[in-house]
């Protein structure tokens, strides 16, 4: 058996490995774009599997594709969606800015697999042709961005939002459990008035809940697909109504509310919906970064730091210091958050590259978007499972720090005024005495008055 077969495209013949389903254009791309090791996002394979199936169904419904071709294409797409042939999509992210080579990779794999099923030689383009049948009524210029939008929408709605909700629920569970744990608040990294540990964690839960709302709002524009615009948005070589038919099938197959974009020229010349979605991903990353850094700070110690939280001892923290426990989940989550913020910058720059009728930074944009979705979902699950689920409060340490705080003096301000209260705090700090001792020494309140006014538990909410 020969190691190679000859495949032909419009530029001539190419040797393709005999056991591969791809064709001449994919093989050319492998030779021309041997750049790095960043593979096209695997989510794009799924998106294209759905898209090509939907297009075949639509074209057949309009008498533009035979029943035999439809059944073969649909069958192969089902195989792809079941995880088969994943190794037949070898292209790098760093190809043409339109993604043409990847679209043709999909077209060639589907056509060759159809030939294989029909008992025809690979490369014969019978009974299904990669351009004439698999790519019918389409151009890379409308199907690649459609696949991008589909992959992003599927990733956010199916993977990221559900995980974010679980993450928020875990934070909210801690908020409820610790509602009665009064601790000292901190602003400017300095002691402030008290709040409860539960209130602090409710703030974290609220951050994530708000981000879910933002992501859901950003998805509304991502559901608007450019499919049907073909080369430049005019719909040349597609039949009237193809966009509604094909995207209707996509909506049915995915269970998501995809619709045709109202203006194909808008969504093919630029991809602002993805820039907006990336901005929402960046905002979530910013919130995760704060939460990870706050928990790391509150757990620092265990004896020479704040030590208010106790991290689960998942692993040895040091190769030299025995018994050390490090906030490794915080570090992983914060690194992912920084990467997502950096991804957003590249997506924004790429999104600005909508030159005339087409953006030419598509692979870059979808690579970064899917990496952001994938890594944040994974990092949140890891953080929840290996940190939040085992996180405990060091109530003795929290109580000790509350008792030593000078900012409890704030409760005296309404009774004796800001200036006298400040003198008490400064006297206590300078002399090393307690607030109560300083207040009594200065004679601004009686012991009974101090005990009645300075009650940390009363300072965590408005008082009548």
Contacts by 208-211, CB closer than 8 A, 24 or more apart? 208/164, 208/165, 208/167, 208/168, 208/171, 208/284, 208/287, 208/288, 208/291, 209/168, 210/287, 211/164, 211/280, 211/283, 211/284, 211/287
Question: What confidence score (pLDDT) does residue 463 get?
Answer: 84
Residues flagged as binding site:
98-100, 129-132, 139-141, 187, 319, 324-326
From 66, 170, 188, 287, the catalytic residue: 188
- For residue range 27-86, what is the model confidence (pLDDT) as tens digits? 999 999 999 999 999 999 999 999 999 999 999 999 999 999 999 999 999 999 999 999
Q: From the candidates 318, 385, 429, 431, which is the catalytic residue?
A: 318
Answer for the pair 437, 428: CB distance below 8 angstroms, yes or no: yes
Tell me the pLDDT of the chain (464 aa) as tens digits. 469 999 999 999 999 999 999 999 999 999 999 999 999 999 999 999 999 999 999 999 999 999 999 999 999 999 999 999 999 999 999 999 999 999 999 999 999 999 999 999 999 999 999 999 999 999 999 999 999 999 999 999 999 999 999 999 999 999 999 999 999 999 999 999 999 999 999 999 999 999 999 999 999 999 999 999 999 999 999 999 999 999 999 999 999 999 999 999 999 999 999 999 999 999 999 999 999 999 999 999 999 999 999 999 999 999 999 999 999 999 999 999 999 999 999 999 999 988 999 999 999 999 999 999 999 999 999 999 999 999 999 999 999 999 999 999 999 999 999 999 999 999 999 999 999 999 999 999 999 999 999 999 999 999 87
Letter string b/e over residues 292-326, b meaning 16 or more CB atoms within 10 A of that residue's CB: bbbbbbbbebeeeebbbbbbeeeeeeeeeeeeebb
Cα–Cα distance for residue pair 42/63, rounded to 1 Å: 32
- Tell me the C-alpha distance between 422 and 401, whole Å: 20
Report the pLDDT value the prediction gives residue 15, as an integer from 0 to 100. 96
**Catalytic annotation on 318?**
yes
- Please list the helix, strand and coil fractions of the chain in percent, rounded to the nearest 5, in that order: 60, 10, 30
Tens digit of pLDDT for each residue in 158-202? 999 999 999 999 999 999 999 999 999 999 999 999 999 999 999
The fold of the 148-180+197-224+262-396 domain, in CATH, is Fumarase C; Chain A, domain 2 (1.20.200)
Confirm whether 10 is a catalytic residue.
Answer: no
Q: How far apart are CA 385 and CA 290, in angstroms?
A: 19
The first and second tokens of residue 335, run together, are 């690194």
pLDDT score at 424: 96
Q: What does CATH list as the number for 4-136?
A: 1.10.275.10
The token duo for 308 is: 């208010």
The model's pTM is 0.95
DSSP classification of residue 40: P
Count Cα neighbours of 319 within 13 Å in the Cβ-side half-sphere.
Answer: 0
Domain limits of the chain?
4-136, 148-180+197-224+262-396, 405-456
Residue 120: per-residue pLDDT: 97
**CATH among 1.10.40.30, 1.10.150.120, 1.10.1200.10, 1.10.357.10 for 405-456:** 1.10.40.30
Residue ranges in 321-446 assigned as alpha helix (H):
328-351, 362-386, 395-404, 413-416, 418-431, 435-442
**Residues within the annotated binding site for substrate?**
98-100, 129-132, 139-141, 187, 319, 324-326
**pLDDT for residue 2:** 67
Please give the pLDDT value at position 354: 87
């Amino acid at each position: 058996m020969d190691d190679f077969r000859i495949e032909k495209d419009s530029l001539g013949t190419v040797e393709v490995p005999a056991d591969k389903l791809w064709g001449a254009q994919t093989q050319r791309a492998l030779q021309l774009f041997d750049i790095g090791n960043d593979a096209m996002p695997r989510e794009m394979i799924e998106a294209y599997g759905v898209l090509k199936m939907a297009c075949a169904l639509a074209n057949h419904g309009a008498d533009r594709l035979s029943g035999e071709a439809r059944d073969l294409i649909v069958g192969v797409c089902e195989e792809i969606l079941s995880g088969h042939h994943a190794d037949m999509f070898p292209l790098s992210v760093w190809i043409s800015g339109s993604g043409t080579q990847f679209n043709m990779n999909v077209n060639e794999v589907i056509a060759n697999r159809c030939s294989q099923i029909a008992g025809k030689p690979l490369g014969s383009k019978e009974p299904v042709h990669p351009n004439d049948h698999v790519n019918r009524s389409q151009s890379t210029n409308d199907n690649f961005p459609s696949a991008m939008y589909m992959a992003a929408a599927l990733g956010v709605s199916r993977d990221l939002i559900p995980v974010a909700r679980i993450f928020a629920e875990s934070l909210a569970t801690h908020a409820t459990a610790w509602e009665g744990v009064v601790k000292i608040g901190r602003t400017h990294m300095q002691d402030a008035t008290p709040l409860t540990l539960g209130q602090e964690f409710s703030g974290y839960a609220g951050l994530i809940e708000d981000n879910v709302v933002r992501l859901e709002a950003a998805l509304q524009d991502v559901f608007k697909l450019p499919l049907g615009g073909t080369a430049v948005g005019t719909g040349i070589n597609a039949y009237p109504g193809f966009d509604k038919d094909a995207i209707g099938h996509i909506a049915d197959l995915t269970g998501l509310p995809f619709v045709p974009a109202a203006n194909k020229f808008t969504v093919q010349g630029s991809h602002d919906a993805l820039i907006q979605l990336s901005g929402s991903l960046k905002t979530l990353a910013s919130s995760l970064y704060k939460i990870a850094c706050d928990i790391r700070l509150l757990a620092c110690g265990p004896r020479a730091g704040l030590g208010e939280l106790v991290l689960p001892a998942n692993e040895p923290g040091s190769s030299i210091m025995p018994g050390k426990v490090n906030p490794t989940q915080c570090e992983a989550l914060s690194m992912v958050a920084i990467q997502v913020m950096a991804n957003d910058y590249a997506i924004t720059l790429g999104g600005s590259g909508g030159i005339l009728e087409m953006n030419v930074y598509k692979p870059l944009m979808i690579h970064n978007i899917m990496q952001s979705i994938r890594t944040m979902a994974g990092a949140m699950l890891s953080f929840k499972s290996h940190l939040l689920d085992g996180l405990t409060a060091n109530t003795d340490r929290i109580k000790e720090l509350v008792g030593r705080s000078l900012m409890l003096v704030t409760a005296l301000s309404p009774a004796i005024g800001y200036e006298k209260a400040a003198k008490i705090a400064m006297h206590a700090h300078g002399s090393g005495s307690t607030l109560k001792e300083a207040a009594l020494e200065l004679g601004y309140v009686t012991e009974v008055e101090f005990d009645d006014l300075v009650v940390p538990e009363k300072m965590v909410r408005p008082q009548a």
